[in-house]
Structure formats: C-alpha cells, structure tokens
C-alpha cells in the first residue's frame, strides 16, 4: 500500500489550523514528521497499528498560492509519499494602536493593519477603508506579509470594512476585516461660566439622522 497524506481544509489563510492525516505507513511507526515547503511544522508522531495517524498545525507565514505538504517517518521515506498541497489565500487583520484589544474604535484613532498571504515581495499594496484608500505604497516581505498603520477617517456608526490590494493581489482576492465605529463627542472648553458659549463636536454618529443634545438629562 502506498503511504499517503491528506490535508483538510485544502486552502485558507496564514495562521489557520489545518489537519493532516496519514495512511499506509508502517504499523506503530515512530518519528513521523510533517513538512510545509520542506520546513518542519510537526514532529514526534506515531502511527497506529493500521499505519494511520493525524496531526494539526498552524499555517506559517507564506505567500499567496499553493504550498507543498509532505511527511516521512522512521521507516517511510519522503519520496514514497505523493505531495499534498495547501493553497494560501491573502487576508488582513486590524489591531488598535493603543488600549486593549476589543476597546471601542472612534474616528481619528490609529489602527495597525497587517496582511498575510500576499505575493512574495509584492509592491504598491494599499489599505482601504470602505473601498477608499487609507494608506498606500506598502511592500510585502519574502513570505507575502506586511504591516502599516492608518488613522480612522470620518465615518458613521456601525460596521466598516478594511481591506487591501497590491500589484498582483486584487481587492476581490482578500478577505476583509470588519471594524465597528462607535460615536464620540468632545466639548471645548470643558468648563466655564453660565451663559458662555461652548463648542460640542461629534464623530461616528448615524448618517443623516436628527440629534438631541442633552445637558443634565434635559434637552
């Protein structure tokens, strides 16, 4: 019986946990390892008495497209096993520059955007906020990864999509990231005498909606 390895799922993003299943190895074979593009990602696996085994690993930083997954063991050689493939799709994640992950996001805040699974050394990458460019001229490294930061532009309350594209990665290839904008008000000055004027400013409110200004629970 020819030993084989199967990958599930067969495509996804950098960092995703995938399952590799081996069959047709020797009974109770020790020292089985899994290789991703010839790089060790899992070791110390032992097959069962039927020569089968299963292992999981997180997809390492790698560029867009297919990548080879292989295996070998104490008695099963690398060239005995047909190669399997995992296809990397580009993705993006967004984190807050300050505060804790999950804190509210307001217009004017600084966000960090990082991309994974783009083409190796891809240039002219742009980050978009609701399809409008937020920052550009970003270059990916040899693994197709990159990072940048941008300021949240004027936007209404609710969900907004951050995405990216480059010279060879189109907008439709990238799985976007959703950020939730929360309303915020500022007052200037923050104190003074009765009857003095003050400026109240708001960002991130619902678009084209009437507002009520409340002072000590009074409109």
* Interval 155-164: pLDDT, tens: 998 999 999 9
Start-end of CATH 2.60.40.1930 domains in the chain: 4-88, 91-181
Residues 36 and 58: their CA atoms lie apart, in Å, by 10
Task: Write the class of the CATH domain 91-181.
Answer: mainly beta
Structure tokens at 189: 């000055």
Segment 136-157 shows an average pLDDT of 94
- Helix H or strand E encompassing 95: strand 91-96
Mean pLDDT of 110-130: 96
3-state helix, strand, coil split of the chain in percent (to 5) is 5, 45, 50
Helix (H) or strand (E) holding 151: strand 146-151
User: What confidence score (pLDDT) does residue 142 get?
Assistant: 95
Architecture of domain 4-88: Sandwich (2.60)
Q: Mean pLDDT across the stretch 155-176?
A: 92
Query: pLDDT tens digits for 202-214?
Result: 676 767 777 777 7
């Amino acid at each position: 019986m020819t030993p084989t390895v199967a990958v599930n799922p067969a495509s996804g993003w950098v960092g995703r946990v995938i399952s590799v299943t081996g069959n047709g190895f020797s009974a109770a074979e020790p020292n089985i390892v899994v290789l991703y593009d010839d790089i060790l990602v899992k070791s110390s696996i032992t097959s069962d008495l039927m020569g089968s085994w299963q292992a999981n690993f997180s997809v390492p930083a790698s560029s867009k497209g297919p990548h080879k997954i292989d295996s070998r063991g104490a008695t099963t050689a690398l060239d005995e096993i047909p190669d399997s493939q995992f296809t990397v799709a580009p993705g993006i994640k967004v984190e807050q520059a300050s505060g804790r992950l999950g804190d509210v996001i307001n217009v004017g805040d600084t966000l960090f955007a990082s991309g994974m699974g783009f083409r190796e050394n891809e240039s002219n990458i742009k980050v978009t906020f609701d399809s409008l460019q937020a920052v550009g001229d970003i270059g990916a490294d040899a693994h197709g990864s990159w990072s940048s930061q941008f300021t949240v532009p004027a936007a209404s309350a609710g969900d907004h999509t951050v995405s990216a594209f480059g010279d060879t990665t189109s907008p439709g290839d990238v799985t976007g990231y959703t950020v939730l904008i929360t309303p915020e008000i500022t007052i200037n000055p923050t104190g003074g005498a009765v009857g003095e004027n003050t400026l109240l400013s708001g960002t991130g409110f619902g678009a084209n909606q009437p507002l009520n200004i409340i002072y000590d629970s009074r409109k």
